[in-house]
Each structure stands twice: as structure tokens, then as C-alpha cells.
């Protein structure tokens, strides 16, 4: 902890540099600057860094130590460098450090976590403490858009990894680690009706909007606070003109579920929807794309190790459930996963986004100790 306290000012400067390198998901070319900063920092620590190109994203970073032991177990350090903030946000929402906090777009979600990752690896190097489980770093640039391109890389790495540490921000003011996350689904419901003149022939058509109104009620009836299931019709559109019976309508639906059984049940309920208005047809597409991160036995063992190490550092760690998904939802299918190891602060996707600098030091120390843990299970070797 003392070593990391001495590096606190450097951690803050690195976070400021990362935040000033604006990197919105929808501008692939913006990712180069932030990925270059991370590459340089990791190369200075003796890591071989590869840039994996993207087709619709800014690509991704994969790094592993030079001179690693062949066939040694690996542990995955996972994060993302993309943000939701458009280029130019720093003009209205400047990056600044004062009174023990760093403010700016992306500092909490999740560039603060990337800083903690780099400095945990640096601490291991400076202390001469090589981990028994080889750290492999993967940073993607499309997480805020669902990791559509990077998920295949994450699955491959997770299959090899003994465990995965996700550097997403912690949960709430207490900085709870995320030991569970809801699965996330997206569905599109298209209704095809029949047009007619609303005044001259009101009974001659089949209203797609009327049908959609029934469907919306059926969808909202799937909400269940007791099971943690939420179903939200987020957008609707349709119709041609006020004096025309609507020949088409459309809704986009967001679904959040806490376990795979509920995911399968709700997905089936939505895909099996049937029209009630005569003369209309439905097309329902989509599914639960990000499975829930559940409190599996192996995930619980990893959480218990983190809690014990927290005690050694004088930290009373707490756990929580996050309503949003992350790449930890994916890794949890294949290996022990602990999420929310990143920055403590507030304001993800909000104008008041900030992180506490003293808590960055604490969480960096926690990650350093976690990286020194022995293997949890026999898994594959470090990827090339």
C-alpha cells in the first residue's frame, strides 16, 4: 500500500491523460490515442502488446508478459477504453483533479479502473513479485455498444483463464464489488396491419398501433420485482397519418434478468407473443444477448478471497448486484469472475462523473494481492 501511495500523483496524471484522450465508441478512430497510452504503459512493464483490429470498432489491445512460462496458468485482466461521451465533451466537462477527486468524461466508467490495472502490474514488477498465474490484459473499445466485435476474443481468453478480474467501476458510494449482474436482452416487435381511411372506412383496416397497445401491456406485465426481472418498452413508432388506420408499428424492448432460468422464460414469453387484433401479423426478433453474471460457486470462492485480502488491507469490502451488464457476464460462463474492481466514485454516463483518488490506491493494492493468489483450477496456457 505504501508503494502505491507514493505513486498516487502518477496515477492521477495517467488518469487525466486517458480522460483527455476522448474515445467515444461510435468514433473508431478516436480509440488510437487512448490505446497508444495503454500500450506504452504496458510495454514499459515488459509486456508484449498486440493491437487487434476492429471492423466497426477502434480495435482492441491484448498484452501478456515477455518471457512468460509456457503452459503456465493465466488470469485475465479485462477492461474497456470506450466511453459514451462525444468528442469535445472535455470543453464543457473539463478533466480536473482537486480535493481528492478526479472529474471528467470516462474517469469512473472506466478509465480509472485501467489506471489501477496498470499500477497493480507496476507494483508487482517494482516489488519483484512474479505472480504464479500469468496476467493477460485485454482492453476492448466496443463495450459500451455491447462488445459485438470483441466478445469472441473475450470468450476465447476466458476459456483459457483460471479467473477473470473485471476493472469496471465499483457499485455505489461504498464501492461494492459486483458479484452479480443482470443479463441483458433486446427485442424488436414489428406489427403489420392494414391501411384504410379513418373517416370513410374506419372498419376496413387493421390498426397496427391498436395491436401494439395490447402488446405493450402484455410486455409490462412481465415485470417482476421479486425475481428482479424488468421489461421496458423503450421506444415505439408507427402509422402514416392521423386520418389513416395504421398499417405498421414497431417497439424496441429492453429486458433485465438475474438468472439464466428467468432469461429463458422471459425470452420464450416474448418470442411466443401472438396478435389479438384480427388482420394483423407480428414479427418478433432478438433475445437475451448478455447472460446474467450469477453467484456461482467458483465466483463465490473468488469473492471470498477478495474479502479476506481486503481485511489484510484494512478494507471492509461489500458486494452488490448491478442492473447493467458488462464483459464479466461473458467471462463468468467460462471462468471464475469478479467484477467492479475498478474505481470508487459516481456518475457513470452522467455530467458529475468522478473518482476518489485515495480509493484508487486502495483498490489498486487489492488487485495487486489478488494477482498474487495461487491458481484456483487447472486451465490453459497464456495465449500468443
359-363 long-range contacts, Cβ below 8 Å, gap at least 24?
A: 359/175, 360/8, 360/11, 360/15, 360/112, 360/115, 360/116, 361/1, 361/4, 361/5, 361/8, 361/11, 362/1, 362/313, 362/315, 363/116, 363/170, 363/175
One domain, residues 45 and 98: yes
Q: Count structural domains, the chain.
A: 2
One domain, residues 278 and 296: no
One domain, residues 284 and 324: no
CATH number at residue 231: 3.30.70.360
pLDDT attached to residue 106: 98
Q: Map grid coordinates 470508487 to a residue.
A: 344
Percentage of residues in the chain having pLDDT higher than 90: 95
Rounded Cα–Cα distance for residues 302 and 163 (Å)? 8
Last residue of a domain, one of 290, 310, 329: 290
One domain, residues 325 and 364: yes
CATH number at residue 316: 3.40.630.10
Q: Mind listing the pLDDT tens digit for each residue in 47-104?
A: 999 999 999 999 999 999 998 777 789 999 999 999 999 999 999 999 999 999 999 9
One domain, residues 261 and 154: no
Cα dihedral 38/44/49/51 (nearest 10) = 40
Query: Is residue 31 classed as helix, strand or coil in its secondary structure?
Result: helix
Q: Tell me what the mean pLDDT of segment 147-156 comes to.
A: 97
Domain presence at residue 364: yes
pLDDT attached to residue 379: 63
CB-based contacts of 273: which residues, under 8 Å, 6+ apart?
A: 189, 215, 218, 282, 284
Of 309, 320, 75, 287, the closest CA to residue 186 belongs to 287
One domain, residues 176 and 320: yes
Rounded Cα–Cα distance for residues 229 and 150 (Å)? 27
Amino acid at each position: 500500500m505504501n508503494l502505491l501511495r507514493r505513486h498516487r500523483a502518477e496515477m492521477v496524471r495517467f488518469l487525466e491523460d486517458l480522460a483527455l484522450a476522448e474515445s467515444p465508441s461510435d468514433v473508431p478512430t478516436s480509440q488510437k490515442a487512448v490505446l497508444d497510452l495503454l500500450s506504452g504503459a504496458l510495454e514499459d512493464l515488459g509486456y508484449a502488446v498486440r493491437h487487434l483490429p476492429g471492423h466497426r470498432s477502434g480495435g482492441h489491445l491484448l498484452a501478456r508478459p515477455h518471457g512468460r512460462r509456457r503452459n503456465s496458468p493465466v488470469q485475465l485482466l479485462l477492461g474497456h477504453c470506450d466511453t459514451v461521451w462525444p468528442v469535445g465533451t472535455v470543453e464543457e466537462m473539463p478533466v480536473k483533479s482537486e480535493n481528492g477527486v478526479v472529474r471528467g468524461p470516462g474517469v469512473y466508467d472506466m478509465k480509472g479502473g485501467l489506471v489501477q490495472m496498470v499500477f497493480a502490474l507496476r507494483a508487482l514488477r517494482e516489488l519483484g513479485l512474479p505472480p504464479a498465474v500469468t496476467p493477460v490484459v485485454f482492453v476492448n473499445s466496443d463495450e459500451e455498444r455491447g462488445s459485438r466485435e470483441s466478445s469472441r476474443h473475450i470468450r476465447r481468453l476466458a476459456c483459457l483463464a483460471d479467473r477473470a478480474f473485471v476493472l469496471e467501476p465499483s457499485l455505489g458510494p461504498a464501492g461494492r464489488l459486483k458479484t452479480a449482474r443482470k443479463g441483458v436482452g433486446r427485442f424488436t416487435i414489428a406489427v403489420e396491419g392494414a391501411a384504410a381511411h379513418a373517416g370513410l372506412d374506419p372498419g376496413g383496416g387493421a390498426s397496427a398501433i391498436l395491436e401494439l397497445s395490447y402488446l405493450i401491456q402484455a410486455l409490462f406485465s412481465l415485470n417482476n420485482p421479486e425475481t428482479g426481472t424488468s421489461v421496458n418498452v423503450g421506444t415505439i413508432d408507427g402509422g402514416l397519418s392521423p386520418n389513416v388506420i395504421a398499417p405498421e408499428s414497431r417497439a424496441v424492448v429492453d429486458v433485465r434478468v438475474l438468472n439464466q432460468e428467468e432469461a429463458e422464460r422471459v425470452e420464450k414469453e416474448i418470442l411466443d407473443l401472438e396478435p389479438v387484433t384480427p388482420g394483423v401479423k407480428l414479427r418478433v426478433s432478438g433475445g437475451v444477448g448478455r447472460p446474467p453474471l450469477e453467484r456461482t460457486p467458483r465466483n463465490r470462492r473468488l469473492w471470498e478471497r477478495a474479502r479476506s485480502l481486503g481485511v489484510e488491507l484494512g478494507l471492509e469490502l461489500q458486494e452488490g448486484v448491478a442492473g447493467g451488464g458488462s464483459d464479466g457476464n461473458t467471462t463468468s460462463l467460462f471462468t471464475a469472475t469478479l467484477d467492479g474492481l475498478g474505481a470508487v466514485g459516481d456518475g457513470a454516463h452522467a455530467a458529475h462523473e468522478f473518482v476518489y483518488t485515495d480509493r484508487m490506491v486502495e483498490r489498486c493494492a487489492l488487485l495487486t494481492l489478488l494477482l498474487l493468489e495461487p491458481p484456483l483450477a487447472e486451465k490453459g496456457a497464456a495465449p500468443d
